[in-house]
């Protein structure tokens, strides 16, 4: 069963705390996507970046329905209708999701139609309808249709001889009503909008003018149905349950079983039907009946549907309509005096290196570390986790090069990384074919930790070099995901990674670690112990403070620990990108807790766990969010930061994220988020990511 399906609210661990102390995680996620939408609404942001945020909002919502809404519907259907931590039944949550989604999607569509599209027009970028073109432009699109679209279209009729066709998830379709001019009888057909063709067709002879592909198709449908009259056509789109359910206790090979499950995913039940707002009632009745969709799962929207595809417009090359580029740099400790690539192993024998992506280059740090390891004849072995990676990945290439050079190479490939399963199966087979030892981790647990271990012969001894990160080994996403990583030759870290990789690839009981916290069990227990220690420091009059940066905070036991810390007078600061089920600022419960959220050009993805510890700061970075799945059903790793300058750097990063000088959102005890973009005097607040880029460049110059 999927990990999301089994995320059932655990019983109260603190019965003395108020029963209504949690926000609902699903509604909190919708609040996060609303923050993305607010970036699209922000007129101070460059226009094409606003278009990109519109696309991200739509893509986020698709995944939310495919996984979270699908999970709730499955619980209702199977009778696992357990009340959520916030006190709602799955049915109640679904109703609230439907209400909020309608509100947000309507706001999203209006923004594109009423503000973004006219703004694009003013800048000479025309996203328009076929009917607004002149005759020459229409003729050009007719020619495009005949040459590029018509040959790949497959009209599917519905009648006694042709059952209603399968509608694939997230595909855009036209529902077509036809009339036989001889008999007068009406018929229904479905035409799929080809997903491999450009969604927005550039009109030949009309510079920077784009028409939705379904609009072009609609104009020339009669050519698909010769001898029939096209009465009407409407766009529609289905979202299906696309979560996977893999039973790892079955004897069948996991790789083979997952491949079968990926085929099944295509036929998951519908969870949402999006239709054009002017759709004919009879056509809608047919669609809802054949797709078995209830009225509350139908969303009426102005066309064009599927605004994910706006990313094609967002990435048009108009520098003046994008963020001013940041100057990405090589970490100052990984660059030689002559600006050539440094000897990374030599650098790590001198000191540990904390890298901060994308401000500091992934290619000249983590990627270079693995490439140098693959090419170095003194390197004997490389062990690596891979959760998500990119097409033509240099990381995968480095592992293959190392294996072909005779090195011992182990790759732990998490093939169950959601929506990357097919890619990861491909990488696993490619690595296996090159002689890499590929394993899939521990039965029943996803391996989400981000680890590299390199063993190198140096004289008459072996030295271990390590990387522990907060982000995936993906050079493409490293350009826009904000992440941290520690490169080190610290002996205790090397010993810990050796134990952890041996556990992941072989058989062993849970080992003891010196510098790592490892889940399941270790991260939850380790962080809980540190929260309790802060309470003790506070009670003894010593410095005490807890600061956390993460993607999500929804685990009830961790939240309860933070409530107890607040009640003991410990100051707690949380910087969260996405979901947060904690209620800050509640008198007698959480008045010492503040929650902020920062969103921007980069996706905030790093995780930091900082404890003041009586004046001896205890700080970890790693892969875990505060969610049930990360703490109980995944292998996650946090590494302790020990160098004074790195502790200072991380504390300054947290200072910035909780500052009143930065543009951010603040969470109120009611669950509402409030955006702050200007100071009390009306001056614009600092963009945190711009400030971090400036600080990174300053650090390099001051080396």
Per-residue pLDDT tens over the stretch 151-197: 999 988 887 666 788 888 999 999 999 999 988 888 899 999 999 99
| Domain architecture of the chain: domains with CATH | 25-118 (1.20.58.310), 130-313 (3.30.1840.10), 332-514 (3.30.870.10), 518-701 (3.30.870.10)
Q: Looking at residue 414, what is its pLDDT?
A: 75
CA-CA distance, 203 to 128, in Å (whole number)?
10
Q: Which residues of 183-192 are buried (b: 16+ CB within 10 A; e: fewer)?
A: eeeebbbbbb
pLDDT at 650 over 80: yes
Q: What is the pLDDT of residues 8-50, one digit of tens each?
A: 444 455 668 999 999 999 999 999 999 999 999 999 999 999 9
Beta bridge partners of residue 468, listed in sequence order: 451, 486
Query: 368: which 2 tokens?
Result: 């270079």
Question: For a pLDDT cut of 90, what percent of the chain falls above it?
Answer: 72
Q: Which of 418, 417, 444, 440 is nearest to 428 (CA)?
A: 440
Q: Which band of pLDDT confidence, cut at 50, 70 and 90, is reported for residue 252? A: very low
Mean pLDDT of the chain: 89
Cis? peptide before 646, omega within 30° of 0: no
Q: Establish how many alpha carbons lie within 13 A of residue 321's alpha carbon, considering only the half-sphere containing its beta carbon.
A: 20
CA-CA distance, 431 to 46, in Å (whole number)?
42
Question: Token pair 């107890």 is at which residue?
Answer: 564
Q: Looking at residue 540, what is its pLDDT?
A: 97
Q: What is the pLDDT of residues 51-74, one digit of tens each?
A: 999 999 999 999 999 989 998 988
Q: State mean pLDDT over 593-606.
A: 97
CA-CA distance, 96 to 478, in Å (whole number)?
35
Is the distance from CB of 235 to CB of 276 less than 8 angstroms?
Answer: yes
C-alpha distances out from residue 301 to 16, 40, 106, 233, 533, Å: 46, 18, 7, 15, 53
Could you list the active site residues? 448
Residue 99 CB: number of other CB atoms within 10 A?
Answer: 13
- Helix (H) or strand (E) holding 108, with range, is helix 90-110
pLDDT at 442 over 50: yes
Q: State mean pLDDT over 332-354.
A: 87
CA-CA distance, 353 to 356, in Å (whole number)?
10
Confirm whether pTM is higher than 0.85. Answer: yes
Is the distance from CB of 47 to CB of 117 less than 8 angstroms?
Answer: no
Query: 227: which 2 tokens?
Result: 């001898």
Query: 686: which 2 tokens?
Result: 């600092």
> Which ranges of 406-546 would DSSP assign to H, the alpha helix?
421-433, 491-505, 522-539
CA-CA distance, 253 to 317, in Å (whole number)?
46
Is the distance from CB of 65 to CB of 130 less than 8 angstroms?
Answer: no
Q: Which band of pLDDT confidence, cut at 50, 70 and 90, is reported for residue 256? A: low
pLDDT at 250 over 50: no
- List, in order, residues 6 or more apart from 392 with CB less than 8 Å away: none
- Return the minimum-mean-pLDDT range out of 58-62, 90-94, 388-392, 594-598: 388-392
3-state secondary structure 576-636: ECCCECECCCCCCCCCCEEEEECCCCCEECCCEEEECHHHCCEEEEECCCECHHHHHCEEE
Helix-, strand-, coil-residue percentages of the chain, each rounded to 5: 40, 25, 35
Q: State mean pLDDT over 591-619.
A: 97
Residue 205 CB: number of other CB atoms within 10 A?
Answer: 12
pLDDT at 254 over 50: no
Identify the DSSP state of 253.
Answer: -
Is the distance from CB of 298 to CB of 271 less than 8 angstroms?
Answer: no
Question: Token pair 């990435």 is at which residue?
Answer: 315
Instruction: Kindly provide the residue ranges of all beta strands, DSSP E only, lying in 135-265, ordered along the sequence.
Output: 156-158, 172-179, 186-192, 200-202, 209-212, 229-240
Q: Which band of pLDDT confidence, cut at 50, 70 and 90, is reported for residue 291? A: very high
Residue 83 CB: number of other CB atoms within 10 A?
Answer: 13
- List, in order, residues 6 or more apart from 192 with CB less than 8 Å away: 153, 154, 168, 171, 172, 173, 174
CA-CA distance, 425 to 44, in Å (whole number)?
43
Q: Which band of pLDDT confidence, cut at 50, 70 and 90, is reported for residue 80? A: confident
């Amino acid at each position: 069963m999927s990990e999301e399906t089994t995320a059932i609210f655990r019983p109260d661990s603190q019965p003395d705390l108020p029963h209504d102390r949690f926000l609902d995680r699903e509604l909190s996620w919708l609040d996060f996507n609303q923050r993305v939408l607010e970036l699209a609404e922000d007129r101070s942001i460059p226009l094409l970046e606003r278009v990109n945020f519109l696309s991200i909002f739509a893509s986020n919502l698709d995944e939310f329905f495919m996984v979270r809404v699908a999970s709730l519907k499955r619980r209702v259907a199977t009778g696992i209708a357990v009340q959520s931590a916030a006190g709602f039944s799955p049915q109640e949550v679904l109703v609230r999701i439907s209400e909020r989604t309608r509100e947000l999607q309507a706001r999203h569509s209006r923004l594109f139609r009423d503000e973004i599209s006219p703004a694009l027009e003013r800048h000479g970028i025309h996203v328009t309808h076929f009917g607004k073109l002149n005759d020459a432009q229409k003729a050009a699109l007719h020619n495009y249709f005949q040459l590029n679209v018509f040959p790949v279209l497959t009209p599917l009729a519905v009648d006694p001889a042709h059952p209603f066709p399968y509608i694939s998830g997230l595909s855009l379709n036209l529902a077509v009503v036809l009339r036989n001019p001889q008999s007068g009888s009406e018929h229904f057909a479905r035409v799929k909008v080809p997903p491999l063709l450009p969604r927005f067709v550039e009109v030949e002879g009309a510079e920077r003018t784009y028409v939705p592909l379904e609009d072009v198709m609609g104009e020339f449908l009669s050519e698909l149905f010769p001898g029939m009259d096209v009465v009407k056509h409407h766009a529609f789109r289905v979202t299906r349950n696309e979560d996977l359910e893999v039973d790892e206790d079955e004897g069948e090979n996991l790789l083979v079983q997952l491949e079968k499950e990926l085929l099944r995913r295509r036929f998951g039940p519908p969870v949402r039907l999006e239709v054009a707002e002017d759709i004919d009632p009879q056509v809608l009745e047919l669609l809802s009946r054949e797709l078995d969709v209830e009225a509350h799962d139908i969303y009426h929207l102005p066309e064009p549907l599927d605004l994910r595809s706006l990313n094609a417009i967002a990435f048009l090359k108009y520098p003046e309509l994008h963020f001013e580029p940041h100057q990405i740099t090589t970490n100052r400790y990984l660059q030689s005096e002559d600006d050539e690539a440094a000897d990374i192993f030599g650098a790590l024998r001198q000191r540990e290196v904390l890298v901060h992506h994308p401000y500091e280059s992934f290619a000249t740090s983590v990627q270079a570390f693995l490439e140098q390891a693959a090419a170095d004849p003194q390197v004997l072995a490389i062990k690596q986790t891979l959760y998500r990676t990119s097409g033509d990945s240099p990381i995968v290439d480095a592992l293959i090069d190392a294996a072909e050079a005779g090195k011992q190479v182990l790759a732990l490939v998490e093939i169950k990384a959601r929506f990357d399963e097919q890619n990861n199966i491909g990488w696993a087979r490619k690595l296996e074919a090159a002689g890499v030892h590929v394993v899939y981790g521990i039965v029943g647990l996803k391996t989400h930790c981000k680890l590299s271990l390199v063993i190198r012969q140096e004289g008459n001894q072996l030295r271990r070099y390590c990387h522990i990160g907060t982000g995936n080994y993906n050079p493409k996403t490293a350009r826009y995901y904000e992440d941290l990583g520690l490169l080190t030759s610290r002996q205790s870290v090397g010993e810990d990674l050796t134990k952890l990789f041996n556990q992941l690839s072989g058989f062993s009981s849970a080992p003891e670690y010196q510098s790592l916290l490892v889940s399941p069990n270790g991260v939850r227990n380790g962080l809980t112990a540190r929260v309790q220690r802060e309470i003790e420091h506070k009670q003894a009059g010593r410095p005490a403070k807890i600061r956390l940066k993460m993607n999500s905070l929804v685990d009830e036991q961790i939240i309860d620990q933070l409530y107890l810390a607040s009640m003991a007078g410990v100051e707690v600061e949380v910087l969260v990108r996405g979901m947060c089920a904690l209620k800050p600022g509640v008198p007698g419960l959480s008045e010492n807790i503040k929650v902020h959220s920062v969103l921007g050009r980069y996706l905030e993805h790093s995780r930091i766990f900082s404890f003041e510890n009586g004046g001896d700061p205890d700080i970890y970075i790693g892969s875990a969010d505060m969610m049930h799945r990360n703490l109980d059903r995944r292998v996650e790793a946090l590494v302790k930061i020990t160098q004074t300058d790195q502790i200072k750097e991380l504390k300054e990063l947290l200072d910035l994220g909780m500052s009143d000088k930065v543009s951010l959102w603040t969470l109120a005890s009611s669950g509402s988020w409030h955006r702050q973009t200007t100071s009390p005097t009306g001056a614009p607040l600092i963009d945190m990511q711009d400030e971090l880029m400036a600080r990174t460049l300053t650090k390099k110059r001051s080396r």
